[in-house]
Structure 1
Amino acid sequence: MRFIAVLTAFVLTFSLDLLADERQEVYVSEKNYDDMTSAELTKAKRLAEKVKIRPLVACADPGNLPLSSMEIPGFDNRIATLLAEKMGTSMRFFWRPFLERGLTRETFANRECDLLLGMPYGYQSLLTTMPIYRSTYVMAYPESKPLTINGLDDPKLRNIKIGTYQHSGLREALTRKGVAENIIVHPIRQDTDINPDHQQWRQLLELVSGELDAVGIWGPFAGYAKKVENAPIDYFPVNLLEDKTPLEFSLAIGMRKNDVILKYALDKAITENAQEIADILTEYGVPLVACSQCAVQGELPSHGSYYQSFINEAESRYLAPLPKSNTQLDTARATEDQKVDLNKLKGWLAEGADLNEELSNAVLAADETRIRYLIGAGADINLRTSAGFTLAHETAKYRDSDTLAILLEQGIDKNAKDAAGWTPLIHGAYRNHVPTVALLASHKADIEAKTKNGYTALGLAIGERKFWAAKA
């Protein structure tokens, strides 16, 4: 009898598991969200209101307060748990450092989790919920030493010790503004659950100790340190101080691209419980940026779309000559040993320096005076590097059309081919750089020259979607 009872229980459990599996697959579409028609999406949205959501598993970082943590729940953990409860199911966390390779690929392929928390809204590799909130990078400083700046290129930023995270948009923006040598980088760590001192927000404590004068950091870290940890710091948003590098982002929850009904179920729960989500974010001190699409509205001014900034950046990169600041030495900041004038060059040559090597250096430095002098002194204008490139190839590759114009005037071979059969014109087309393409065309470069694979400059430009170059 006991055996029969056990067998009956096993069969019943197995049957329930099968039913559960069938239920679980109800909202996994055969199509990805982007491939579905309007009618299919409407049907999925209706099903989301009826289907019973299975217990969910969210991939979460075990040591990244205030976002997520095994020891003390972060706000991402609490928001996920709240949504699961409101959808009538449960939430379990699969702990995995978010800095490990293959996060989006392996976790879903191995069915380790259903959701990824704290993902950028619209992240290309995933399907995401509606944006939940929007936040910004900030500049933090000790309360006892207030900091004000007129922009990220403010000279005072070059004279203080600034901490930033290794992979930080703000670090990139500061570096482009010339603030680099005084930056103290907080390196990437994968042991932040074992060693909490390695978590990103802990760099803010170096403001308190006096090791740093300022920290450029993702806003939620600074808000948490100030409000929850009571660190004597303050901060201001920097999203309005930069147009090229986005410094504000909308965050959402990610899932497989075909979990369409799950997305709609989550969207519904997020919308209906926006106030409770807002209360959680406020509790953790998250700086909230105004966002009309987000469930939680912020009060900090938003930069708005970066689209036009991207267009302007692309036009300056591909439709204009390379800026002098990208090619020539900043003599105001250079040390004496970095500066090379004609007298110093002549001294080197008198001591036996190689003419051709110095010509390569002069081209790299875009120094017209040195280039003309060295060619006149007998340097080989058509010299090749160890990789088989001529100086015409090199300048075309780096979009330095101004220096290329000097070389063409001095008689460099405009149709020289490298080891792959690429001419300077083909290199210019591949870089989508209109001034380089136009310059070479005006010097009657061979537009029909082909690579070893049979591509002309035009064919390569079209095939690689370098449409500005193709049009030129």
Structure 2
Amino acid sequence: MRRWLAGLALAAVGCTAAAQADTAPQRFKVCQDPNNLPFSNAAGQGFENKIAELFARELALPLSYYSFPQRMAFIRNTLRFKLPGEDYRCDVVIGVPAGFDQVSATKPYYRSTYVLVFPKGIGLDAVKSSADLLSLPADRRKKLRIGVYDRSPGSEWLARHDLVDQGVPYHILNADPAQYPGEIVERDLAGGKLDAAIVWGPIGGYFAKRVRDRDLVVVPMTAEPGLKFDYAMAMGVRYGEPQWKQRIEDTMIKLRPQILAILNEYGVPLLDDAAPAPSR
């Protein structure tokens, strides 16, 4: 999934940001990962890039990006990065978990879930839920190779259901700048190295559509007591900028139909309506 959502435990790390003057930006400056499809890339091909373009047009502001790999300290090196005598390099992160405390998070604008992705025709066609996978004959389950990101809900699910030996772990944080989160689906699952993968929904939905030579099935994972698979996503600004945050939320509400159209175009599995309510 996007790098800080591959293991949502990492997104809970607390951090205090210094309050800043809430001045009206002269540009719509977006903090992004330059190689993180389906979310963003340097060529502007991700759905967060398309949403940023919508916002810039609506706000009548020139659009610019400041790119930094979404590893540890992404927020510190983007949204909060500023040299003496300079402006901040960027003013908004288009996708953060709702309530993410390293930023002042807006109300959520979509909610998705982890998914199970597998090719048709390998004996899993009857699987319509995570429970169906668990109901497979024991000898069939033991032969599965299931790709998961380490320290993610997917890896926890495998451990909970005695499927650790079937898991093929992938690192959440990879030092290789050429690595991107969809490789687990587009390269290894499509290439036959894996039988299935459990990934964040936007990654699974997008790359399942992008693979042309195999028909991939996307099945939402079902939450269990103490194990959450669905998460709401918001935008993030700096603390101490309530007027800018309100402007982002108001624009989010106005552009809701266009935002949903973009998410659907990219194959993002959407759960119930996460649109923010208009301010009173």
Give deviations 1:25-69, integer Å, cap 9, x for gaps. Answer: 4x35xxxxxxxxxxxxxxxxxxxxxxx542132110111111111
| Matching residue of 1:294 | 275
User: Is the 2:208–2:218 Cα contact (8 Å) retained in structure 1?
Assistant: no
| Matching residue of 1:126 | 103
Q: Distance in 2 between matches of 1:121 and 1:77?
A: 19
Q: What amino acid is the match of 1:179?
A: L
Q: How many residues get paired?
A: 242
Aligned partner of 2:154 among 170, 173, 193: 170
Structure number with the higher helix fraction is 1
Q: TM-score normalized by structure 2?
A: 0.79
Aligned partner of 2:176 among 174, 191, 206: 191
Q: Distance in 1 between matches of 2:76 and 2:66?
A: 15
User: Is the 2:119–2:190 Cα contact (8 Å) retained in structure 1?
Assistant: yes
Give deviations 1:256-283, integer Å, cap 9, x for gaps. Answer: 1111111110111111111111111111
Partner secondary structure for residue 231 of structure 2: strand
Q: What amino acid is the match of 1:203?
A: I
Q: Distance in 2 between matches of 1:271 and 1:190?
A: 37
Tell me the CA shift for residue 71 of structure 1: 2.8
Q: What amino acid is the match of 2:75?
A: T
Tell me the CA shift for residue 102 of structure 1: 1.8
Which structure has more relative contact order (CA 8 Å, sep 6+)? It is: 2
Mark the CA change 1:214 to 1:288 in structure 2 (over 3 Å): closer, same or farther: same
Q: Distance in 2 between matches of 1:228 and 1:159?
A: 27
Aligned partner of 1:243 among 211, 214, 225: 225
Aligned partner of 1:145 among 111, 116, 122: 122
Structure number with the higher strand fraction is 2
Aligned partner of 1:234 among 217, 220, 223: 217
Tell me the CA shift for residue 72 of structure 1: 4.7
Q: Distance in 2 between matches of 1:146 and 1:263?
A: 49
Q: Distance in 2 between matches of 1:276 and 1:233?
A: 27
Tell me the CA shift for residue 290 of structure 1: 0.9
| Matching residue of 1:79 | 51
Tell me the CA shift for residue 129 of structure 1: 1.6
User: Is the 1:151–1:241 Cα contact (8 Å) retained in structure 2?
Assistant: no
| Matching residue of 1:68 | 40
User: Is the 1:228–1:285 Cα contact (8 Å) retained in structure 2?
Assistant: no
Mark the CA change 1:84 to 1:279 in structure 2 (over 3 Å): closer, same or farther: same
Aligned partner of 1:281 among 237, 242, 263: 263
Q: What amino acid is the match of 2:61?
A: T
User: Is the 1:274–1:295 Cα contact (8 Å) retained in structure 2?
Assistant: no
Give deviations 1:402-435, integer Å, cap 9, x for gaps. Answer: xxxxxxxxxxxxxxxxxxxxxxxxxxxxxxxxxx
Q: TM-score normalized by structure 1?
A: 0.48
Aligned partner of 1:105 among 52, 76, 85: 76
| Matching residue of 2:28 | 56
Partner secondary structure for residue 181 of structure 1: helix
Partner secondary structure for residue 199 of structure 2: strand
Any gaps of 5 or more consecutive residues in structure 2?
1-19, 83-87
Q: Distance in 1 between matches of 2:218 and 2:28?
A: 37
Partner secondary structure for residue 139 of structure 1: strand
Q: What amino acid is the match of 1:189?
A: N
Q: What amino acid is the match of 2:180?
A: Q
Q: Distance in 1 between matches of 2:42 and 2:268?
A: 20
1:92 aligns with 2:64: yes
| Matching residue of 1:179 | 163
Give deviations 1:120-168, integer Å, cap 9, x for gaps. Answer: 0111221112211111100110022252252675555443100012342
Q: Distance in 1 between matches of 2:160 and 2:242?
A: 40
Q: What amino acid is the match of 2:188?
A: E
User: Is the 2:256–2:275 Cα contact (8 Å) retained in structure 1?
Assistant: no
Partner secondary structure for residue 250 of structure 2: helix
| Matching residue of 2:238 | 256
Tell me the CA shift for residue 190 of structure 1: 3.8
Q: What amino acid is the match of 2:174?
A: R
Q: Distance in 2 between matches of 1:253 and 1:174?
A: 31
| Matching residue of 1:360 | none
User: Is the 2:249–2:276 Cα contact (8 Å) retained in structure 1?
Assistant: no
Q: Distance in 2 between matches of 1:58 and 1:72?
A: 11
| Matching residue of 2:10 | none
**Superposition RMSD on alpha carbons, in Å?**
2.3
| Matching residue of 1:219 | 201
Q: What amino acid is the match of 1:133?
A: Y
Q: Distance in 1 between matches of 2:59 and 2:254?
A: 11
Q: Distance in 2 between matches of 1:252 and 1:89?
A: 21
User: Is the 1:228–1:284 Cα contact (8 Å) retained in structure 2?
Assistant: no
Any gaps of 5 or more consecutive residues in structure 1?
1-23, 29-51, 297-472
Q: Identity across aligned pairs (percent)?
A: 28
Structure with higher Rg: it is: 1
Tell me the CA shift for residue 191 of structure 1: 3.2
Q: Distance in 2 between matches of 1:123 and 1:294?
A: 17
